[in-house]
Amino acid sequence: MLAALKKESITGKSTLWKRLAEDLEASTRQRCEVNLSRINRFTKDNEVVVVPGKVLGSGTLNHKLTIAALAFSGSAAKAVHQAKGTVMTIPDLMKKYPDGRNVRVLA
């Protein structure tokens, strides 16, 4: 996945994939963990969000989102689905949004 991000950052015009590749190159101890409460606080309905780390299930989600991340806890994925949102992996996000427009990074 990291190689695909680097390749897309070079061939594409988006700096999003380069930023994600740099964030994911860090050691696993330095990768971010974001709670649903933080995602809920800083997003609006129908936004697309990427987390270069793990999404944790602490908190609630009050609106529909598309969230891509390296990993999800079971309770986080369940909460996103209950809010009528979508959970996807970062490679799936790259396929769906190759230019990286309208995708926010939460770290």
Tens of pLDDT, residues 88-100: 999 999 999 988 8
Reported as a pLDDT band with limits 50, 70 and 90, residue 1 is confident
- Whether this prediction's pTM lies above 0.85 is answered by yes
Cα–Cα distance for residue pair 5/47, rounded to 1 Å: 21
User: Please, are residues 2 and 24 in contact by the beta-carbon 8 Å criterion?
Assistant: yes
Q: How far is CA 79 from the centre of its chain?
A: 15
Half-sphere CA count of 103, side-chain side, radius 13 A: 24
Q: Please identify which residue in the block is written with the tokens 């995602």.
A: 39
- Using CA atoms, how far residue 65 sits from 22, 28, 96, in Å, is 24, 26, 15
53-90: pLDDT as tens digits: 999 999 999 999 999 999 999 999 999 999 999 999 99
Residue-wise pLDDT tens digits, 10-64: 777 778 888 898 888 888 888 899 999 999 999 999 999 999 999 999 999 999 9
What domains are defined for the chain?
32-105 (3.100.10.10)
Instruction: In whole angstroms, give the CA distance from residue 103 to residue 66.
Output: 9
